A and B are shown apart, each in its own frame.
Chain A
């Protein structure tokens, strides 16, 4: 999956705050601040997020360290002065602050914020998700992987080229969970002389490696030859990756992502909707479950998978070999000559009884990954399916989000 580079919409903000439990109200910060961002009442000293320009002039004069506190928040909804003035202590860090995105480089945080917009803001990871490692490797200190395989997944005559690329990390630790992404740093510089931006790819392999117990990771990469409007364009990172040969070395940053993670408790079910290379995280999760079939942990897998035709559907062959009682697969092809165009949302509506049963199951977790355009259609399909089954999607969706059961990553 290729998440396109920065589009600035739902930006995360690193908000500067003062810890009222440690602060001694000495006024040094207010005196020092050149932007007049710090103010106080008889109770607390507070920082105005709209005025603070991160000059950090206030940090070293503060005798207590109370000034040196930060929270990741939605830029559109920072803590207001009224909220801060009422605090006895700092609010707990939300899961997203405490873990993954808190330490992310700003440009990565922006990409992931845009990609997960469809889920309606930050959601929690499933309660039984494994703890993710994030941001272990940076642009300054990337991990170097060696290409150990590059296989074409699409047929020779298909109109697109999708590849399964295996990267071996050798002795370099790269702990990565199904649903997480890693960043690829294409070599060289762009026309303006600046390094190419990082591209993020969801891993297609489960946590124990593409080859079990090997420190390797697979990616599903589509060679980009046109943009969203169909105009010819040569994707820098995707072409770089698709052209790699066995033995080539690749700079990798990450891993990233702390919420689009699979549940681990026995009896948990996965409801997966994807198109094209959005199948990468679904393939990783399905493969994780397939390797554990013998444990008979229970739970269902239901997959809605859209592509133009069979030949362009990555992993079509392996998927077809999976037992029917292991995974309930629903394909939708939109470009098969002589047949009516089918989209994933059509199949969801057809299966409304099972879909709504799973949406209502507390142990079922929903994952949606693919092109941004699919979000609206899937949302509408859920609404129709719910209505048919006498349920209200408008009520169900917030509950799913609150329970960490609804995860969207689109690009």
Chain B
């Protein structure tokens, strides 16, 4: 399963044998590079970065580390190895051989799923394009760029599917993916969270922890798809996605560790004093967490959704770990609890499981996200600081679905608009919080040095030391 780097577009899908597709992608390639130049990481045209590049998709070959000049990174098309005699594992077509071509009747739904997933990839690159100017270390700068190039590659993965299987429509969608812009009021990205700015590194780490984790759950569900090329594409993307969540989890963990060091060294717990020593107080971290968690909750879509039901019963998008779940994989009679506001309180009501698939995926995600927050709490606990971070209630600060109409606090209580307004600065980052965090964002690019607000990592990338020259500026 080696990747052919001699090709203009590195790939392991034998692109050379399909000249039409090859031409279409070669036509799209310069447009992508132009987009990268316009909207990718700022001021990096001469920078060499110690990056991980796949040289094959098997375990031995896909993590090859070397210095790469950013514009020369070889974005390509990689699918995980196929599974012999794979079947559709859920929905009405359960037990039939997995599809190698798009079934005509599902064409538009499948295209919609791929476009929605694909749109998030360039969006996050756009959101993060200025962060390199305020990086807290070379190590972190390298991690940012690794995330960026892999988001770019994930875009390629989706564009390959669009161009290979959706003809003219697919080509137009591929163009549109390069035309929308994160936060552009006239031509925004499809999903809300991908139009929020990522103004500072605390936001970046929260984004990679919470929002990229949504990506993981969406990719896991798509990796179950009856459309085999999509499943194989997503399986390989998941391996890369893990690095993004690592950047988030370890990033926040290091911020917390540094804050706790400042607190215990100076024996202080007053946020103002902690801030005066240049560290980020834990309540501010909690407010950022609340924001990114709640924005990500919305990414899963409406709690009760007929689209989700259709995607599932037609075999296009499964559940997380679909094949490990023991049930009928049809869900025609099952039910699942969803929340609604009834008589001024949140109440759990049963909905048909098929329609509640977004909610099910959201709950799977919450379990995973919350367990990582507990690992952050261990860092606080170990330092002997009395504070616990927690994920807010899933109904908190929602902007999509029926819960968007209510004001719900982080504990899950329905509150009045007055109560919400009076407390919102305790729950979500205020302008003052954001201005403070922004004030810490100075650029640190001296080897082995780290900004004052973040601790060095426990382990370097690819076992290199913390003071390794992860980025070379030429």
Contact = CB atoms under 8 A, between A and B. Distances in A.
Interface residues of A, number: 20
Interface stretch (B2-10, B58-66, B167-175): B58-66
14 contacts: A25-B371, A26-B245, A28-B239, A28-B242, A31-B239, A57-B59, A57-B60, A60-B59, A60-B63, A61-B62, A61-B239, A61-B242, A64-B250, A65-B463
A58 interface: yes
B147 to A, nearest CB: 11
A24 B245 contact: yes
A69 B243 CA distance: 18
Interface string A53-76: 000011011011100100000000
Contacts of A57: 59-60
A24 B209 CA distance: 10
A58 B242 CA distance: 13
A42 interface: yes
Given A32-B59, A42-B371, A58-B59, A24 B458 contact: no
A158 B239 CA distance: 71
A26 B371 CA distance: 12
A42 B374 CA distance: 12
A21 interface: yes
A77 B38 CA distance: 58
A58 B60 CA distance: 9
Contacts of B241: 26
Task: Assign chain B's interface to a size class.
Answer: 20 to 34
A357 interface: no
B459 A22 contact: yes
B246 A64 contact: yes
A248 interface: no
Contact of A25 (B243, B250, B368, B463): B368
Interface of A: 21-22, 24-28, 31-32, 42-43, 57-58, 60-61, 63-65, 68, 88
- Grouping DSSP codes into helix (H, G, I), strand (E, B) and loop, the B interface class, with mixed when no group exceeds half, is helix
A31 B238 contact: yes
Interface of B: 59-60, 62-63, 216, 238-239, 241-243, 245-246, 249-250, 367-368, 371-372, 375, 378, 458-459, 463
Contacts of B60: 57, 60
A25 B239 contact: no
Q: Quick one: which of B62, B238, B242 has the most chain A CB within 10 A?
A: B242
B367 A26 contact: no
Nearest to A65: B459
A267 B61 CA distance: 59
Contacts of A43: 371
A65 B250 CA distance: 12
Given A28-B239, A28-B242, A22 B59 contact: no
A283 to B, nearest CB: 44
Nearest to A68: B463
Contacts of B372: 24-25
A22 B239 contact: no
A26 B246 contact: yes
Q: Quick one: which of A43, A63, A65, A68 has the most chain B CB within 10 A?
A: A63
Contacts of B375: 21
A-B pairs with the 5 shortest C-beta distances?
Answer: A26-B242, A57-B59, A60-B63, A63-B246, A63-B243
